Amino acid sequence: MENGMKVVKPLDDEKKQTESGQEEQTGYIRMKKFKFVMLLFFVIFITAGITTAAFAFGDQKAVNVTTVNRPEFDKLYKAYDSIQKKYYTKVKQKTLVDGAINGMVESLNDPYSDYMSKTEASDFNNTISSSFEGIGAEVEEKDGYIVIVSPIKGSPAEKAGLKPNDKILAVDGKSVHGMSANEAVMLIRGKKGTKVTLTIQHVGSKDETKVTLTRDTIPVNTVYAKMLKNGVAHIQITTFSDGTYKEFKAAVENMKKQGMKSMIVDVRQDPGGLLDQAIKIANMFVPEGRTILQTEDRNGSREKYVAESGTKITVPAVVMIDGGSASASEILAAALNESAGIPLVGEKSYGKGTVQSAEKFNDGSILKFTVQKWLTPNGSWIHKKGIEPDEKVSLPDYAKLPVIGTDAELKLYSVSEDVKTAEKMLKALGYNPGRVDGYFDWNTKTAVEAFQMHEKMQPTGIINGDTATKLMSEISNLITRHDTQLKKAEEVVQKEK
């Protein structure tokens, strides 16, 4: 104990993932300290006025025990019995039980608490442990809407220009309003090569746009490294998955061989992932004994996670963050900033500061609910606030342009917000669309034709699915070539020497 606070050291490298104390799954954290040996399943039996329940713990067989009278459940039992006996069609017991659990979870009004069916739970686990097929975007439920937290690097979602805080209103024409994030993900996911059409409302806009994406395999690789000028290594973490820590270590060693003199750790657009991976990477920078993370339960009791001994990275470093940096990304950024003195560059992070516990039932379903807050080393709770960078730098205005609907056809005399977005993109790419006013005139048509010829496409002068997709792809490439945040990070890290 330290000042009445429990101190916890990071996990050993040799421990398996299932043995890690806490972990975060794509935007939320799972507690697995007891390997799901808590209550897994129960069936209510009412016999001769005596209520009994069959419980199963771990691999033990269910046994009948007499329960304590719980009058608060009388109304629930009565509603269940009435529906079973009097509803005009038969209803499966599982449907009613699942519905009751869903109702309890929804009453929490917490986007990070959820009840998942067996299929949903399987997808929940596969997202972190292996590659999966889909569009590659982390989403959450927020005020009844499905909102994008961050697209994954190189994914169809990123290539289509989807941005953090964009709302997904419908999937293939089916409204997802009021759905949980997992229910929406089940609709969005699908086999590689198949298409899905999303109705998107860009942040700050009232207009709706339909975007058709081709699903793909979302790669397992989560760390990308390259050497910039003057020995500056740029190491990007796109998500925190099973092998991220090992990938990061390998990337650091590779950069050392190439003459690394300083380092930029880039967690922009990183929606989070496994907590233990973030802790292990933080431990490579934070001096022994200093705090990496704190957690606080409902009673105000705190636990500290402190850095262990070992070889530390001592070259000058900076961390890059933005509005798509969430959860585990924020944990890493805060730890390196507050406990290792490493400056942050970019824009304010997302702001996700809660810890979830996941309990698995015998039928494969999972109940996930918030049990703790996580705090920065200095004790700050960044939930819904985010982390402010030391050096605030925005990307060019064209980096914030919304997506263009790939289902619509923009042509001469069209008038819409999509036309205005396309005009801004053409102008940023060096083509002259004339006035940027949302009106598709002859100047706009000429600019579109010039763009199509340059990209070896048929010069129709019409913006349809292929041209819209190519426009957004070229804007993405332009952002990469003129990355103002990365340039600032290079300046800062070289001053740190």
User: What are the catalytic residues?
Assistant: 327, 338, 352
379 residue type, one letter: G
- Side by side, the strands of the sheet bearing 317-321 are 223-227, 232-237, 262-266, 317-321, 344-346, 391-392
Q: Give dist(CA 119, CA 100) in Å, integer.
A: 19
Quick one: tokens of 238? 């796109």
Q: What is the DSSP letter of 18?
A: G
Q: Kindly state the tokens that stand for 389.
A: 């960078």
Give the per-residue SS3 of 65-107.
Answer: EECCCCHHHHHHHHHHHHHHHHCCCCCCHHHHHHHHHHHHHHC
The one-letter code for the residue type at 453 is M
Characterise 477 by phi-psi region: left (phi > 0), alpha (psi -120 to 50), beta (else): alpha
Sequence-distant (≥ 6) Cβ neighbours of residue 335 within 8 angstroms: 278, 282, 285, 286, 291, 292, 293, 376, 377
For residues 241 and 130, is the Cβ–Cβ distance under 8 A?
no
Per-position DSSP letters for 4-59, written without gaps between them: TBEEEPPPPTTS-GGG-SEEEETTEEEE-TTTT-SEEEEEEEEETTEEEEEEEETT
Q: Please, what is the angle between helix 275-283 and helix 244-257, to 10°?
A: 30
Q: Please compute Rg for the chain using Cα positions.
A: 25
How would DSSP label each residue in 409-429?
-B-TT-BSHHHHHHHHHHHHT
Tokens of 223: 């760390």
Q: Which two tokens stand for residue 331?
A: 């944990």
CA distances from 186 to 102, 124, 234, 405 (A): 16, 10, 35, 23
Q: What angle do CA 108, 111, 115 make, to 5 degrees?
A: 70
In the three-class reduction of DSSP (H, G, I as helix; E, B as strand; rest coil), residue 146 is classed as: strand
Instruction: Give the whole-angstrom CA distance, residue 479 versus residue 425.
Output: 11
